[in-house]
Amino acid sequence: MLSQKTIEIIKSTVPVLEVHGTAITKRFYQMMFAKHPELLNIFNHANQKQGRQQTALANAVYAAALYIDKLETILPVVKQIGHKHRSLGVKAEHYPIVGENLLAAIKDVLGDAATDEIIQAWAEAYGVIADAFIGVEHEMYEEAGGQPGGWVDFREFIVQRKVKESDVITSFYLVPADGQPISTYEPGQYVSVKVELPGEQYTHIRQYSLSDAPGNAYYRISVKREDAMQDKPAGKVSVYLSEEVKEGDSLRLSAPAGDFTLQQEDSRPVVLLSGGVGLTPMISMLNTLIKSGTDRPITFIHAAKNGNVHAMKQAVEELAAKHPQLSVHWCYTQPTEKDRLNGAFQKEGYIDLPWLQKVIDTKEASYYFCGPIPFMKTINGALLEWGVPAADIHYEFFGPAATLA
């Protein structure tokens, strides 16, 4: 337990963190990687370069300071980050390294403003926060390794099938190299894939949503090839998987993780909305619902640039033809002439609230969405404007958590 004085000191730093939080976390990563370059085998280098990881950590530190006297308030965030840490292989022994460098970064950025009293208070607070993460993640490791077909850390899988789903998305059907069973998962969860790229010093880990219903003898991930765009370089891992990995090759996977999952006990209508490759967890949820035999009304809405990049369209339409409780709607921002001639979409442009109100039968439903951040901000804003309760809105960020405000 923290003393009242320590709590007061931590809370007094909240305004400072609001202003300097990202500068502190940016310096933190610089210092930590300089002293412990081996941790570059765990962290996503692209998210570091784009500043997403620094921003996400700054937001987490800010929230921890704000609720330091009520840490149970941020327990959902702790669990969400804990899933990612367990999937990446973050262990208890990493936390002292993080603490040492975080305190050093606070001192480095704030200078004389970071008094000995403030640094000592943050050292105590970090110890409490770290213990919370370590405890949560310990339980997650035990659960991952203890269930039938489960394992801890990374396990070798073979690419049994590789299927091109669109011009930019490819599915990989993965079976365990040891021929043993694999653990089940909740629709919406993801796995981490660890690869060693030719010519690269450090391993790279990426997290991909499982894109099929659980209960199969394989895991399926569907990967979008991230090509270079303006000042944004191509995605090293996605290009490697799409262009270099062949059927019969092996990949190392961590056990399924994640807290963005379908609430299957809910009997109300369900609305699944996706943009781009954000459809992968939605497909898992859709296939699970259909496989379960539920009669829940399902509305499946997907936004894509055009038909060339629209993955799994035929599979979803075939499900809709067989299951009257499922309605599907496509939104294309830049349809091709072929798309127009074939009537391949129902809306041109971007999804908006008036259109959603036309295609969704009832507001009283559970909503799940995933996609690029601008898409997610639009959907979240539209649902809230419509009056959908926040408790009925569920979403997942690809990569570090951001804000939809």
Active-site residue, selected from the candidate residues 29, 126, 137, 395: 137
222 is in an annotated binding site: no
185 is an active site residue? no
141 is in an annotated binding site: no
387 is in an annotated binding site: no
400 is in an annotated binding site: yes
218 is in an annotated binding site: no
263 is in an annotated binding site: no
137 is an active site residue? yes
168 is in an annotated binding site: no
39 is in an annotated binding site: no
154 is in an annotated binding site: no
325 is in an annotated binding site: no
280 is in an annotated binding site: yes
22 is in an annotated binding site: no
Active-site residue, selected from the candidate residues 95, 141, 240, 368: 95
277 is in an annotated binding site: yes
Cα–Cα distance for residue pair 231/244, rounded to 1 Å? 24
Binding residues, as ranges, are 85, 190, 206-209, 276-281, 397-400
Binding residues for FAD, as ranges, are 190, 206-209, 397-400
The set of catalytic residues is: 95, 137
Binding residues for NADP(+), as ranges, are 276-281
Binding residues for heme b, as ranges, are 85
